[in-house]
Amino acid sequence: MSVYDVEKWVVMQLPLVLRRSKLTALVQVLVGQVGRLVMQWSRYADDVKYDIRHNSQVCKLRAMLNDRLDADQRRVDLVDAQPNSEMLIVYTRALGKPVMVGIGAYVLTPPRGYEAGRELNFVVRAPQEWRDTEKASRLAALVNRGKLASMRYRIEYVQ
């Protein structure tokens, strides 16, 4: 239903005697804002229904991200995170915290943001041109809304 349909419906509800040009114009002006509110509510209700239909399954999360951000080319992809095979996590009693040891047997400090025992569950791959744009923040917000609470992810920007 569009704004025009609401205005037309209200005019059709007027008795024939009152359907004059000035009164019709006045009624259309008064009802125009209500029609716009009805349209906004209808769009909001459709968005909520869409969000409810999509859960945290990989196929549905991928579909939601592509529908909202890249409907034409559908370049957003979700892949399983691969464990870091070059690093070994060693728990030392003396330090009381995990230490990452590389292949060459030299000790590395844990990277910033690393938490012991927690690994990524999946990786979101998005186009490189989205980096540092509004789409990047929308992507993160949509993934946070659609994923399970215990899942950890990383966004990679690829060519």
pTM above 0.75, yes or no: no
- The pair phi, psi for residue 11, each rounded to 5°, is -65, -40
Strand order in the sheet with 98-101: 88-91, 98-101, 107-108
What is the rounded CA–CA span in Å between residue 142 and residue 99? Answer: 34
Where residue 44 falls among pLDDT bands split at 50, 70, 90? very high
pLDDT over 60 (residue 109): no
Label residue 15 exposed, middle or buried (CB < 10 Å: 0-12, 13-18, 19+).
exposed
- The predicted structure's pLDDT at residue 51: 84
